[in-house]
Every structure is written in C-alpha cells, then in structure tokens.
C-alpha cells in the first residue's frame, strides 16, 4: 500500500511543483516527479517496483496504491506481449490500459487506487477498487478551472483545493470526457433484486479460504489482526492452516527448514501457488504472528488469547490505557480524516496497535472487516422486519464501507506504514455470499447472527479438524470499540462532557449547517476535526448509525439484544 498525489491539467506545472511536493509529503507515512507524486510501501516487487511506473517509451506513467492479486495471471494472458520493467504486481495496469482502455480496472483482482497519465493523448485515468478498500479523494480549485486533483488522503488536497469529494469505489475517471463512471456492476448491486439462491455452506467456506490465501501474497513479514471475534478468528485460522501447509511443502521440497530472507530465484522462503487458481507467490514464514489490543481484562483480549493458543500462532497482546487512547485522539482524527463517532472509537485502538506492529517490522496484516455488512452481523440486524429489508441494508452497508470500516482499516494502519488486507471483501466471495437468499441471514429465534458463516466453518459433522473452538465459533458479536474494553467508550463520553457544555450543544457552529452533532462526544470530535481540516472537507464524512433502532449511540452494547443468551441449538 502506498500514497499518491496527482494533478491533471494544472495551468502552471513549474510553479505548482513545490506545492505538489509539499502535498505529497502529507502521505509520507504511507510509505517510507512529475506532478504525479508517490510514496511507496513495498510489499511485492520490493527491489524493483519504484513508482511512478512507466512503459517502454515513457509515454504512460502510473502511480498506484494497492495490491493486485491476479498480476501473475494477467502477465500470462495479455493479448499483446509486454516488456515488464519490474516484478511489481501493479505494473500490469499499464498493459491492461493499453489493451482495454478505461475498462482495465474490471480485469483487476485486488485493492487499489491509481492515477495513470497517457502523454500521447494528454489523458488522465483514475480508478478505485470495487469496494474502496484503499482510500482516494479527488478535488478542484475554483481558481484553476480545468485542473483536477487526486490523492490517497484528504490532507493532501485541503490546502490546494476548495472543493473535495471521496472518489467513488468501483468507478473510473477519464479526463477525455471529464466523467467518473461505474465499472463495477455485480449481480447484487441493485438492492431490489433480492436473491433466491439456496445457501451452499461448502462453497462459502472454500471461496473464503481462497480469498485469504490469495491475500498472503507478500515478500515481507506479515501477520493477522486477531480480536477474538468470529471474523478475525476465521481469517487467522485459515492463514495459520496455509502457513502450516506451506511449511510442510517447503520441508518436503528441501528436506530442511528454509532460510529466511532468500530470493525467489534461489527458492528460499518462497512457495508458489498455482496461477490457474489466481493465487500468487507467498512468503513462507516459520510462524504466523497474531495481534490484539485492549484495556486490561477486555473481552476481546481474553478471546484472542484462546484463539491464538488453539491455532498455535505467535500472539502479541497490546494493553493500552484510557490515557493512551485519549492522548491519541487528535492524531487519530488527523489520520482518519473523519469526525464519525463509531469510526473514531474503533480506530483509536487500531491506530495504537499498528504502531507496535510496525515497530516489530511487520508491513502487512490481514483483517476481518466486511463480514458484518455481508451477513447482517451487527446486532441491530435482529430488528430487520423481513428478508428484503435485510438484503437492502447489507447492500447499503457494503456501498458505504469506504466511508466506515474500510476507511478505518486503511488509514489506521497506514498511519504507521502498515497495510491491512480484507479477505471478506474479495470480489468472488462477495458474489457468492451476497447472492444467498437473505432469509438465510435473518435472525430467527435460536439462531445467532452470521449463522450461515458459522455453520460453514462448523465441520464437526464432516469429521474434519475444527477451524475454531465452539466457544469462539459461536461467540456473540462484539463491535471492536466495545470488545477492546467497555471502559473505553464510557471514558470517551465522560471526557466529552468535560469539553462540551450544554450551552455549546444548544448553539452549534453556523458553518455546520444541518449536520448537527447529536451528542457531546460527536460535538467534541467535530471541533477537533475543524481544527485540522477546512469546513468544505466535512462533506466527505458519513455518520455510522444503526437502522431499525431508536438509539443514537452506535455502540453494539446499546442494542437491546446484546448479552442475550442464545439457544444452544445451532
């Protein structure tokens, strides 16, 4: 994952270059000139993937933030042979553009934001991955008509633009037309087209396993974020199985433990996975690292330790204090570029943990975002009136993930130069899981949330080795900001009350318009945001609130069904 900053058709490029380089430095934390600036965090093609990437005659330049999991398959199936300059997974975007024009993003399997400049046509193409796992913004300056700016983070644009917006996921921009059009058109996109496909538990399991495996593509140390909840625990379980499988394969091939840090040509530490399965080379690690964070005695910490012991991962627990979290709030809001209550609550522990992960030399982690949106896992889904409404809500949540959990996962980790990959948001897995009859996702008496996902990995009846202990596989949902310790949210509310008076609540700032904070905590975050970003940036923020609920607090704990005892029948 990296950071990009670009401008198309600036009227005075020479004069703008100092400001452009200053803007690019705002995303230096994402990685350690044309007016196409790039900060690189090397995960694949470590030695040869410096950007911007160019074609043979230099007429096409490309800056990319992300990972392309099917890059090896693309290299093998191009209609016209292309001379690759690097081993970077991202370089395939150039020949794809040459072959498919603006339809190139449709052929990518990965998470990405990119800006490509075609000098011969004086044309700029920009695109973002289907769900918006990677962050991207675009902006304009009314004093420079015709100029369009792009950046991985809002902070790059706030001083050079007077209008900004989130670049929509699954879309591509073409300067030739000036239009941004949607290229990602899955069968589940229309919420009124309610699927009727019966659930296939084996297909769900196998497709998700494949999704995790392909995200192990790396040439650097990696790990897994393990909260002890269902989603992260499943990711960790599959990643650990793959780690052990690769270890066995290397031992069988070499007859001994491989040396670490070797190169691909020597075959030391790297194992190839069949390209026909759209998987790529991964780094063999002797032991999988897992990470969790929480206040002392947090629900997630205890569960994560149990999972790690069961799986055999090398687990690292970070205990943070209320003071640590409060002291980090301003930095969190700066990096997350939001004032949404849910996002800030959950991002702060993740921000603190990412710092420790980076200090250990880990550059990439797998994370469990997206599952609750797909399977209706949030506790408020218990109140869904029928399957049509439930399906519409899952579609809505997925379409807005780039403003919520994806934004948190990307920006919390990239603040420290760590990349988070999210297997649940794999295109193929989404196609399978979002086309299941939503009746199977409904919360009925005796059925816990995400029932079909849990059943897919409950393999006792098959006589197979369990993925997780039953206690974890059937554990009730805890939202991350709750699971790190209930005292965290309570402390945030208490401190907000010290900073925001009743009188302030009655007299919100005029520039906020109709977007009025509904709690002292929300008001507090908004004032901190205003100190960091101009008011026109606020339009990029979405407030996360539950549906089918009268509550204003987004905490899962506030949902009445929380801590309800479920029937043991599964």
Q: Check residue 16 and give its pLDDT.
A: 84
Tally of domains in the chain = 2
Structural domain includes residue 193: no
Confidence check: pLDDT of 281 > 60: no
pLDDT at 217: 83
Residues 164 and 227 in one domain: no
Q: Are 67 and 419 in contact (CB under 8 A)?
A: yes
Whether pLDDT at 556 is above 80: no
pTM equals 0.90
- 540, pLDDT greater than 90: yes
- Residue 568: inside a domain, yes or no? no
CATH number at residue 44: 3.60.20.10
Residue-wise pLDDT for 344-402, tens only, equals 999 999 999 999 999 999 999 999 999 999 999 998 999 999 999 999 999 999 999 99
Residues spanned by the domain of 155: 3-182
First to last CA, the chain: 40
Q: Which of 2, 7, 406, 537 is catalytic?
A: 2
C-alpha span between 1 and 363 (Å, rounded):
9
Show the beta-strand stretches assigned E in 106-147.
110-118, 123-128, 137-140
374 occurs within a structural domain = yes
Residue 226 annotated as lining a ligand binding site:
no
Instruction: Determine if residue 472 is labeled as part of a ligand binding site.
Output: no
The residue out of 150, 182, 214 marking a domain boundary is 182
Catalytic annotation present for 156? no
Q: Is residue 195 one of the residues assigned to a domain?
A: no
114 belongs to a structural domain? yes
Please check whether residue 517 is in contact with residue 492, taking contact to mean a CB–CB distance below 8 angstroms: no
379 and 236 in a common domain = yes
Mean pLDDT of 544-568: 63
Q: Does one domain contain both 129 and 258?
A: no
- For residue 128, count other CB atoms closer than 10 A to its CB: 32
Q: Is 89 annotated as a binding residue?
A: yes
Q: Average pLDDT, whole number, for the chain?
A: 87
Measured between alpha carbons, how far is 38 from 4 in angstroms, rounded to an integer? 5
H or E, element range at 72: helix 71-77
Reported confidence tier of residue 4, pLDDT bands at 50, 70, 90: confident
- Does the residue 187 lie in any domain? no
- The average pLDDT across 550-566 equals 57
Final residue of a domain: which of 182, 209, 237?
A: 182
Q: Say if 428 falls within a structural domain.
A: yes
Q: Of 207, 216, 264, nearest to 242 (Cα)?
A: 216
Residue-level pLDDT at 266: 34
50 neighbors 85 (Cβ within 8 angstroms): no
- 246's tokens: 């690769």
Residue 188 domain flag: no
Average of pLDDT values for 523-543? 97
pLDDT at 33: 34
Q: 183-205: string of b/e by CB count within 10 Å (b at 16+)?
A: bbeeebeebeebbeeebebeebb
CATH of residue 496: 3.40.50.620
Residue 374: predicted pLDDT? 98
Each residue of 270-301: b (16+ CB within 10 Å) or e?
Answer: bbebebeebbbbbbbbeebbbbbbbbeebbbb
Same domain, 163 and 258: no
270 or 397, which is more confident:
397
Q: 85-132, pLDDT tens digit by residue?
A: 988 899 999 999 999 999 999 999 999 999 999 999 999 999 999 999
258 in the same domain as 123: no
Does residue 132 share a domain with residue 10?
yes
């Amino acid at each position: 994952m990296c950071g990009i900053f670009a401008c198309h058709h600036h009227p005075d490029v020479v004069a703008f270059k100092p400001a452009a380089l200053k803007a690019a430095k705002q995303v230096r934390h994402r990685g350690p000139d044309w007016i196409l600036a790039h900060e690189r965090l090397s995960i694949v093609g470590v030695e040869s993937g410096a950007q911007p990437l160019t074609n043979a005659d230099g007429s096409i330049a490309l800056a990319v933030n992300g990972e392309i999991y099917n890059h090896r398959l693309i290299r093998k199936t191009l209609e016209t042979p292309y001379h690759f300059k690097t081993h970077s997974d991202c370089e395939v975007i150039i020949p794809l553009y040459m072959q498919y024009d603006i339809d190139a993003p449709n052929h990518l399997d990965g998470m990405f934001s990119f800006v490509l400049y075609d000098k011969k046509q004086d044309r700029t193409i920009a695109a973002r991955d289907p769900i918006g796992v990677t962050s991207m913004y675009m902006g304009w300056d009314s004093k420079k008509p015709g100029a369009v700016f792009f950046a991985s983070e809002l902070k790059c644009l706030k001083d050079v633009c007077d209008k900004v917006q989130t670049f929509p996921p699954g879309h591509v921009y073409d300067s030739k037309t000036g239009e941004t059009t949607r290229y990602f058109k899955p069968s589940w996109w229309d919420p009124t087209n309610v699927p009727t496909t019966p659930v296939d538990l084996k297909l769900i399991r196998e497709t998700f396993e494949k999704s995790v495996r392909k995200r192990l593509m790396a040439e650097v140390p990696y790990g897994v974020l393990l909260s002890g909840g269902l989603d992260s625990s499943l990711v960790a379980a599959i990643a650990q199985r793959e780690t052990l499988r690769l270890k066995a394969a290397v031992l069988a091939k070499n007859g001994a433990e491989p040396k670490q840090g070797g190169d691909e040509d020597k075959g030391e530490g790297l194992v190839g996975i069949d390209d026909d399965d759209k998987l790529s080379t991964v780094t063999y690690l002797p032991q999988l690292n897992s990470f969790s964070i929480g206040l002392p005695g947090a629900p997630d910490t205890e569960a994560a330790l149990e999972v790690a012991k069961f799986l055999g991962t090398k687990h690292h627990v970070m205990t943070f204090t209320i003071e640590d979290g409060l002291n980090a709030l301003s930095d969190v809001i700066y990096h997350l570029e939001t004032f949404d209550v849910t996002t800030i609550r959950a991002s702060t522990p993740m921000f603190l943990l990412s710092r420790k992960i980076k200090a250990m030399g880990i550059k990439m982690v797998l994370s469990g975002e997206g599952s609750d949106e797909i399977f209706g896992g949030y506790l408020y889904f218990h109140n869904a009136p029928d399957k049509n409404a439930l399906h519409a809500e899952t579609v809505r949540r997925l379409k807005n993930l780039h403003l919520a959990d994806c934004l948190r996962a990307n920006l919390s980790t990239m603040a420290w130069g760590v990349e988070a990959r999210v297997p649940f948001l794999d295109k193929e897995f989404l196609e399978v899981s979002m086309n299941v009859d939503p009746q199977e996702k409904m919360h009925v008496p005796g059925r816990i949330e995400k029932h079909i996902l849990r059943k897919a990995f409950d393999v006792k009846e098959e006589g197979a080795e369990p993925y997780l202990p039953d206690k974890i596989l059937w554990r009730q949902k805890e939202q991350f900001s709750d699971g790190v310790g209930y005292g965290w949210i309570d402390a945030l509310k208490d401190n907000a009350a010290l900073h925001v008076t009743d009188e302030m609540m009655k007299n919100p700032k005029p520039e906020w318009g109709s977007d009025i904070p509904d709690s002292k905590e929300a008001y507090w975050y908004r004032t901190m945001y205003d100190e960091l970003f101009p008011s026109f940036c606020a339009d990029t923020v979405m407030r996360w609130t539950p549906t089918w609920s009268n509550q204003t607090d987004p905490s899962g704990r506030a949902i009445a069904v929380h801590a309800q005892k479920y029937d043991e029948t599964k």
